[in-house]
């Protein structure tokens, strides 16, 4: 009975948003749109099915109905009880706040059992010169940072990097960061909405969370690699995929489809495809549907064989067995361990 699921986007009107999702082909409501939550089981924005027999049903209720047929037999029970991922688009028409996210243990203790938040960004569009805040500068200590907060000199402690379309950036919990003006990206993250704001560029309408941020910022991470080029695998007939991020929480691959690619959901885990360029279709044993830029699909674990066709680029994300899903296929394709660790974000950070 299960089939590939589309969802109604959950739009967020945060102050730093714009109208740039229209360039992805999205039909936006009036006003500012900062985020589009594509696949979400979070109380602050719950996905509702937009296609097929289950149209109008929320994702949490669908999980209650189908359990592991949807989530997968390989995932732990906690992922059945609480969906593990949240996928969104972000339009930073203005600077986001400088912020940090806690890890699981701190969030459980201080945020009513919420997950921590590890995330990654894939840059879809960036104006010339657009930058991100990524980490503190080398040598910045907790004490120096706290003093900079008191002196309103936080920006002097931060490292910025210029970004371009196609950049992949891993954001582990504890790493201070901010999306700069003029960037549109896709974000894959743990199913959490816990953010500790440190600095908000003079905006005063939202609270800061200085003490909690100081508790969780990793002041020993300065010098960490910012971008990961990934490693590519040939899918045949002019199509390919590139492994870009692989952590214990999520694996993210970039699919470049030019023709038809056959895939399998063999019962172990669900997959999410988020299309950011082009269009095409999907066919499975009992049906078919069209898909285009700005749309996402949840592939149930028990779907079986399916095929993607057309000319499009998409992110594929899932909860991995890193050895089986990432390392073994790359080694079989001739990549060495050093190349794998250097090229894929998250593998060197545990």
Chunk the chain into consecutive blocks of 10 residues (it has 350) and report each block's average pLDDT, rounded to whole numbers: 97 96 96 98 97 98 97 96 97 97 96 95 98 96 96 96 98 97 98 96 92 96 90 95 98 98 98 98 97 98 98 98 96 95 85
Q: Do domains 7-216 and 231-343 have the same CATH topology?
A: yes
pLDDT for 349 equals 63
Does residue 108 carry a catalytic annotation?
no
- Please tell me the distance from the alpha carbon of residue 261 to that of residue 106, in angstroms, as a whole number: 42
- Please tell me the distance from the alpha carbon of residue 259 to that of residue 278, in angstroms, as a whole number: 12
Domain boundaries, the chain: 7-216, 231-343
Pick the CATH number of 7-216 from 3.40.50.300, 1.10.10.410, 2.60.120.10, 3.40.50.2000: 2.60.120.10
pLDDT for 268 equals 98
CA distances from 80 to 70, 75, 188, 309 (A): 9, 8, 18, 30
Question: Which one is catalytic: 150, 197, 203, 224?
Answer: 197
251 CB contacts (<8 Å, ≥6 apart)? 243, 245, 317, 318, 319, 320, 322, 325, 326
pLDDT for 350 equals 46
- In terms of CATH, what superfamily is 231-343? Jelly Rolls (2.60.120.10)
- Spatial contact of 342 and 149, defined as CB atoms under 8 Å apart: no
Which residues partner with 284 through β-bridges? 287, 306
Q: State residue 230 phi and psi, 5-degree precision.
A: 80, 175
pLDDT for 237 equals 87
């Amino acid at each position: 009975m299960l089939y590939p699921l589309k969802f109604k986007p959950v739009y967020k009107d945060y102050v730093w948003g714009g109208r740039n999702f229209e360039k992805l082909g999205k039909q936006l409501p009036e006003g500012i749109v900062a985020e589009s939550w594509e696949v979400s089981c979070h109380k602050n924005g719950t996905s509702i099915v937009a296609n097929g027999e289950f149209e109008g049903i929320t994702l949490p209720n669908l999980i209650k109905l189908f359990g592991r047929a949807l989530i997968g037999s390989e995932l732990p029970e906690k992922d059945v009880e609480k969906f593990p991922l949240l996928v969104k688009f972000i339009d930073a028409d203005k600077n986001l706040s400088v912020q940090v996210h806690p890890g699981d243990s701190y969030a459980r203790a201080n945020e009513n059992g919420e997950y921590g938040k590890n995330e990654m960004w894939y840059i879809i569009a960036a104006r010339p010169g657009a930058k991100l805040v990524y980490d503190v500068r080398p040598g910045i200590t907790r004490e120096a940072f706290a003093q900079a907060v008191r002196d309103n000199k936080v920006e002097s402690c931060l490292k910025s990097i210029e970004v371009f379309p196609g950049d992949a950036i891993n954001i582990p919990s504890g790493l201070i960061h901010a999306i700069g003006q003029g960037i549109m990206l896709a974000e894959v993250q743990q199913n959490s909405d816990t953010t500790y704001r440190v600095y908000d560029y003079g905006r005063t309408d939202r609270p800061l969370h200085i003490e909690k941020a100081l508790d969780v910022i990793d002041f020993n991470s300065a010098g960490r690699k910012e971008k990961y080029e990934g490693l590519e695998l040939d899918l045949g007939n002019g199509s390919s995929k590139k492994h870009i991020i692989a952590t214990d929480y999520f694996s993210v691959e970039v699919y470049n489809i030019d023709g038809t690619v056959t895939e399998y959901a063999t019962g172990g885990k669900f997959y999410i495809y988020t299309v950011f360029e082009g269009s095409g279709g999907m066919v499975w044993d009992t049906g078919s549907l069209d898909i285009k830029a700005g749309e996402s699909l949840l592939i149930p674990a028990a779907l079986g064989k399916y095929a993607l066709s057309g000319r499009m680029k998409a992110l594929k994300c899932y909860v991995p067995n890193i050895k089986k899903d990432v390392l073994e296929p790359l080694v079989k394709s001739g990549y060495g361990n050093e190349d794998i660790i250097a090229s894929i974000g998250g593998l060197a950070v545990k």
